[in-house]
Amino acid sequence: MILIVINDPVYFLSHRLPIAEAARDNGYLVHVASIASPSGEKIKALGFEYHELPLNRGGVNPFGELYSLYAFWRLLQKLKPDILHLVTTKPVLYGGIAARFSPVKGVVAAIAGLGSVFVANGLKYSLIRMIVRRMYRLALGKNNLRAIFQNPDDRDSLVRLGALTTDKTVLIRGSGVQLSNYVVRPEPSGRAVVTFVGRLLRDKGVGEFVRAAKLLKVRGVEAVFQLVGDPDSGNPSSLTTTELAGIRHENDVTLMGYRDDIPDIYASSNLVVLPSYREGLPKALIEAAACGRAVVTTDVPGCRDAIEPDVTGLLVPVRDHVALANAIEVLIGDPALRERMGKKGRELAEREFTIETVIQAHLEVYNALESSC
């Protein structure tokens, strides 16, 4: 039996469902554990057993966090999974620690980025980083464990910390896309449409995107800028209601809200922008490549791994809205370059980012752990 633990069932449905379905098709009994949510009912309707965990993604109250750790341990004692697949930071930390003291045969720790705690500034986050580093060493210490990373920088960071050895790591580039769902369509005519897709977090570079749009408007560049996504109340980096109201009032960027028709969003866009501070390997950029759209993103772990610089898109320095505006302006002014980059992006997606490739890599990890039990 495989138990997949994730911090948000919405993320399971958007990023891990094909892997769970493939594991089930290959004979595994698959259970899922996450927070109480209406999406849990959707997971049950898909035929998976669903378990609720008291997990506060943004919580730092020590008593609440200890209770979450205890709940992990209690669930593992009850289910005794053959393979425990932990996805995102808190499940990896708490689940990995609980697995050290539970009848779990093998652990998969999917580290999809090191999280906002590794890019935030201030004394508070410095102290949290110190604690998290120690927790990683404990959480990744089980002998029969494989840690899946989406980019080599995150892998090398935790190896340098002494959290694990290289032989226990696997590099799988992202969550994959079903290419048949992403058809390359001609760019729309008229004013260029520049699109950001993702959670509305400061760490995603939303502020830099808005400031770049404002600067280009001052320069007289004719373009439509749109933010597609919602804030995330469970993330300390989320934009506040006041900040969103300010963006609406200034009217340089259109707030589109959450959308589940991303292929259509990209089809109606000319350019995709993600000025994030750090990522695992952002699905937004993989989807943009699959749709044949050129991108502008930051030269940071995860983002630079999702493109071929100057081939499928442009890299700019992180937290630099002027450089971001300059790169966007270059691509707005050169439709032929956008088209060439979009074509190369689709080739990259076909070569590196298919869901079939990602599924097969995960099944190989499961099988390796099972054979080592």
**In sequence order, what DSSP letters do the residues of 106-129 get, joined into one string?**
EEEEEE----GGGT--SHHHHHHH
pLDDT over threshold 70, residue 118: no
Which amino acid belongs to residue 93?
L
- Classify residue 46 as exposed, middle or buried by CB count within 10 Å of its CB (0-12, 13-18, 19+): middle
Q: Tell how strand 169-171 and strand 223-228 pair up.
A: unpaired
CATH fold, domain 2-176+354-372, is Rossmann fold (3.40.50)
> CA of 227: how far to CAs of 50, 224, 230, 251, 259, in Å?
33, 10, 9, 12, 10
Question: Given 3-state DSSP classes, what are the helix, strand and coil percentages for the chain, each rounded to the nearest 5?
Answer: 50, 20, 35
Output the pLDDT for position 286.
Answer: 96
Q: Which of 82-86, 266-270, 279-283, 319-323 has the lowest mean pLDDT?
A: 279-283
> CA of 265: how far to CAs of 35, 187, 195, 222, in Å?
29, 11, 8, 19
Hey, CA dihedral for 260, 263, 269, 275, is it positive or negative? positive
Q: Rounded CA gap, 182 and 347, in Å?
A: 13
- The percent of residues in the chain predicted with pLDDT above 90, rounded, is 84
Prediction pTM value? 0.89
Kindly state the tokens that stand for 233. Answer: 């109340």
Is the Cβ–Cβ distance between 324 and 212 less than 8 Å? yes
pLDDT over threshold 80, residue 57: no
- pLDDT tens digits, 142-178: 999 999 999 999 999 889 888 899 999 999 999 899 9
Over residues 78-83, mean pLDDT: 97
Output the pLDDT for position 55.
Answer: 87
Domain covering 179-352 assigned CATH 3.40.50.300 in the classification:
no
Do 2-176+354-372 and 179-352 fold alike per CATH? yes
Query: With b meaning 16 or more CB within 10 Å and e meaning fewer, what string describes 346-370?
Result: bebbeebbbbeebbebbbebbeebe
Q: Which residues contact 345 (CB under 8 A, 6 or more apart)?
A: 288, 289, 290, 292, 293, 294, 295, 307, 312, 313
For the chain, how far is it from start to end, CA to CA, in angstroms?
A: 13
Is the Cβ–Cβ distance between 192 and 224 less than 8 Å? yes
The four Cα atoms 102, 169, 204, 285 give a dihedral, to 10 degrees, of -120
Q: Tell how strand 223-228 and strand 192-197 pair up.
A: parallel
Segment holding 345, helix H or strand E: helix 335-352
Output the pLDDT for position 338.
Answer: 98
Using the structure block, give the residue that is written with the tokens 């080739």: 347
Over residues 86-110, mean pLDDT: 94
Hey, CA dihedral for 345, 350, 355, 360, is it positive or negative? negative
Output the pLDDT for position 114.
Answer: 74
Name the residue ranges covered by the structural domains of the chain. Answer: 2-176+354-372, 179-352
User: Per-residue confidence at 129, pLDDT binned at 50, 70, 90?
Assistant: confident
Is the Cβ–Cβ distance between 133 and 301 less than 8 Å? no
Q: Which of 198, 153, 179 is nearest to 358 (CA)?
A: 179
Mean residue pLDDT of the chain comes to 93
Helix (H, G, I), strand (E, B) or coil at 268: coil
pLDDT over threshold 90, residue 62: no
pLDDT over threshold 90, residue 82: yes
- pLDDT tens digits, 280-327: 999 999 999 999 999 999 999 999 999 999 999 999 999 999 999 999
